[in-house]
A and B are shown apart, each in its own frame.
Chain A
Amino acid sequence: MREPGESITTPGMIIPDPVNVDALREGAGELRTEEMIINMGPQHPATHGVLRVILRTDGELILDAIPDIGYLHRCAEKIGENVPYTQFVPYTDRMDYLAAMNNNIAYCLAVEKLAGIEAPPRAQYIRVIVAEMNRIASHLVAWGTYGLDLGAFTPFLYAFRERELILDLFEALCGARLTYSYMAIGGVRFDATAAWCDKVREFLDYFEPKIAEYNELLSFNQIFIKRTANVGVIPPDRAIAYGLSGPVLRGSGVKWDLRKDTPDLVYDKMDFDVCVGDGRMGKVGDCWDRYFVRVLEMVQSARIIRQALAQLPAGECRAKVSRAFKPPVGEVYYEIENPRGQLGFYIVSDGQAVPYRLKARGPSFCNVSILREIARDCLLGDIPAIVGSIDVVMGEVDR
């Protein structure tokens, strides 16, 4: 047992005294209780990769939960300063590896804006289609693993069953199942055939009724609601103050979606709703709201894909861009709505073939920062519920 305030990891990571321990221990009476520091992760089944959470506990009560990140750091940004613009695309795949298409798009759009390149309309539509498909795949993983975090095994298998179909479609499109590198500066690498589009429609026909099944199995299960409603509540003002984005922000009832508010690609031509948490099962911004926003977004993504498929124009799918192109001197910051929130790239060009500086703003990194605030004064069993509802991908947190 450590003294309060003693450093347990890196210097500077000090565990502060809890604010109201006495109030929390109310009812303990004469019982002497002792605090225990327990290490959750980096190898732990519920932390979705290598997130390490240092828990300070009093029995089952969590007094403090400190996320400790960096176990998957791969110097992605530094590498970006050393490879030509076109060659950085595969590195974006490996950031948020559950939504590689969206990462590709964010980077390519940033470079295109920097260099003044416009992708042909067909490429823009294909980008929307694959981005939304990847959003569904990513949300399916979030949905399935969230069930797993709460002890329900079956949703995980159902989610992966459906995700497998999306991966098959991606494999047919670009040959890869996880790290696609499908986007190129100025368009997409391979055109989508009519047969492929039919397969996507077939998938949607299969997938859309499944969502009702998901709700039956998990969303409206009473035990599930009891575990997630009123747990890990993020009020809207705190969500904004922490710079949260994506379903975590919308779960708090803030209607902010870059696809709607600053539409890139052809999102302005799509008809879809921004789903927000409404506190249906408890308070606005609890775990259930964040979870349910993802379920609703899968429906909206399916809507968008159908519209994009219907409007898909003919023509080129890639603008002519020289392999060793050099963007003009300047800087750009561009962000899009990734499944986990706003993924932005800040690129400084000094006119060379490699960027002078490349910085990524990852949504998971910002979202995980609120963990310490909301995972306090809860029970140990709530920690997986909270971490799972934030849905972090450590590849992108650590980059």
Chain B
Amino acid sequence: MPETVDFIPFVNWPTWLEGLIVMAVVYFAFVSVLAMFFIWWERKVSAHMQSRLGPMRTGLWHGWAQSPADGLKLLGKEDLLPDDADKPLFRLAAYLAFVPAFAALVVLPFSAKFVFVHEMHVSLVFIFGVLSLEIVGVMLAGWASNSKWALYGAIREACQVVSYEIPMGLSLLAPALTVGSLSLAVIGANQGAGLHEWLMFRNPFLFVAFFVFFIASLASCKRAPFDLPECESELVAGFLTEYSGMRWAMFFFAEYTVMYIIGALTAILFLGAWYDPFGIILGMEQAGQSWAAAVAGAGVMVVKGFTIVFVQMWLRWTLPRLRIDQVMYVCVKVFLPASCITLIGSAAWQWLAGGLFQQITQIVLTVLGTAGGLYFVALLARALVKPGQGILPTIITSWHAEPAPAPVAPAAAEEGQANG
């Protein structure tokens, strides 16, 4: 197993200042496009799940320009600050939520070559820490708004954070411990040989850790069923109640960017990072085609990240929301012990298991995981291929072809129709 990875830097930055400028431009563009795409995509996904079409008019093709148009509208809105708000904090909160999402991308590898800060050996810890900063922005937003609903949103976020961060952190440690590195690049580089080498399938504890991590990560993205800080049916809009215009959009950009980061992180830690399931990209790397492998790997990485984002959307538009005590119960009483067990279990597994037993376990888990994945793909395919359940019957469409529906009864004409 590779202990370290020799990164060939994307470009050699002579000075940190140039690097900073390039990062600001490139990543800001990337984050904006990504967030706008996700917002559009979420609207389309939700629409198709609800037998609607979603945005169709803005732009020529399937309303692709809806997100830029919305962004333009939000830019043009009045810069509104509530009178009683703590104005500096109110302003600061939006940036404090946005910047960490941006910063986390810096160490997120897209493939063996494409990573901005490649010397970072603790990138996993860095991402986890930086993402936690976003929460400060959310809590600050709720506090500074000086609105009771926003305060509720902020306090709920705080409750949620103390509940999900520990199981999430512990379940992150299990793959790191199995590989023996906190560098995302090294963790990723260890999973290239094929589906069975993906960390999720290495041992049963990692298999469980994947699910714990995924569910806890939903909470960290504030996605349903853990969208309590902003749940609009209880708290109006939670911590976002007093926000509008571009500042509100900042939170959304942050949310959607974090969704991708979490998706990519899940892929790197558990789902084979930038390698395909059949070892083709690893083969390319070993054959010396490192650039081709890097490009293909980045493509695979994006596909995996988007798939996980899609699952997050799928869950959001299917499930009701938990109550705050249930969130805390699930995280503290179920996931916390589970993640402790996965951590200890993975450690013990490293020590004890090996040889044939290890291989058999990997094969069994791979088959299990693949079957589960295929089951959900089949569910989706069924919905796409057999849309009959979501399509309206002919009642509406055939109706207008009919002659004038109900003839007026003679008595009605007599009365002269007093109704309005």
Are B50 and A154 within 8 A (Cβ)? Answer: yes
| Contact (Cβ within 8 A) B233 A150 | yes
User: Is B395's CB under 8 angstroms from A206's CB?
Assistant: yes
A86 and B233 contact, CB distance less than 8 A: no
Instruction: Give chain B nearest CB distance to A254 CB in angstroms.
Output: 28
- Across the interface, which residues of A come within 8 angstroms of B156, CB to CB? 60
- Interchain CB contact under 8 A, B320 and A60: no
Q: Does A203 contact B (CB under 8 A)?
A: yes
Instruction: Kindly state the separation between the CA atoms of A382 and B405 in the bound complex, as whole angstroms.
Output: 46
User: Is there contact, CB below 8 Å, between A45 and B51?
Assistant: no
Are the C-beta atoms of B236 and A44 separated by less than 8 Å?
yes
A202's contact among B317, B318, B393, by CB below 8 Å, is which?
B393
Q: Does A191 contact B (CB under 8 A)?
A: yes
**Are A223 and B406 interface neighbours, CB within 8 A?**
no
> Which chain A residue has the least Cβ–Cβ distance from B414?
A323
- Minimum CB distance partner of B416 in chain A: A323
Q: How far is the CB of B330 from chain A (nearest CB, A)?
A: 10
Which B residues lie within 8 Å of A323 (CB)? 414-416
* Residue B69 is within 8 A (CB to CB) of chain A in the complex: no
Residue of A nearest to B419 (CB): A181
B49 / chain A contacts, CB cutoff of 8 Å = 154
- Cβ contact within 8 Å between B324 and A379: yes
Contacts of A379 in B (CB 8 A): 323-325
Using C-beta atoms within 8 Å of the partner chain, give the interface range for chain A: 35 or more
Question: Measured between C-beta atoms, what is the minimum distance from A238 to chain B in Å?
Answer: 24
Whether a CB of chain A sits under 8 angstroms from the CB of B418 is yes
Please, which residues of chain A bring their CB within 8 A of the CB of B235? Answer: 380
For B322, the chain A residues whose CB sits under 8 A away are: 223, 226-227
Chain B residues near A153 (CB, 8 Å)?
A: 46, 50, 317
Whether B412 pairs with A161 at a CB distance below 8 angstroms is no
Instruction: Indicate if B402 sits at the interface (CB-CB under 8 A).
Output: yes
A90/B420 in contact, CB under 8 A: yes
- Select from chain B the residue with minimum beta-carbon distance to A384: B233
A221 located at the interface, meaning its Cβ lies under 8 Å from any Cβ of chain B in the complex: yes
Partner-contacting stretch, out of B160-168, B224-232, B361-369 = B224-232
Cβ contacts under 8 Å, A86 to chain B: 415, 418
B233 CB contacts on chain A under 8 angstroms: 45-46, 148-151, 384
Q: Are B407 and A172 in contact (CB under 8 A)?
A: no
Q: Are B232 and A157 in contact (CB under 8 A)?
A: no
Cβ A190 vs Cβ B319 within 8 A = no
- Partner-A contacts on B (CB < 8 A): 46, 49-52, 148-149, 152, 155-156, 224-225, 227-228, 231-236, 317-326, 389, 392-396, 399, 402, 405-409, 411-412, 414-416, 418-420
Question: Nearest 6 CB-CB pairs, A to B?
Answer: A151-B321, A181-B419, A157-B50, A172-B405, A152-B320, A381-B323
Binding site for B on A (CB under 8 A): 36, 38, 44-46, 59-60, 84, 86-87, 89-90, 147-154, 157-158, 161, 164-165, 168-169, 172-174, 179, 181, 184, 187-193, 195-196, 199, 202-203, 205-206, 213, 217-218, 221, 223-224, 226-227, 317-318, 320, 323, 379-384
Q: List 5 A-B contacts (CB under 8 A).
A: A46-B234, A87-B419, A153-B46, A379-B323, A379-B325
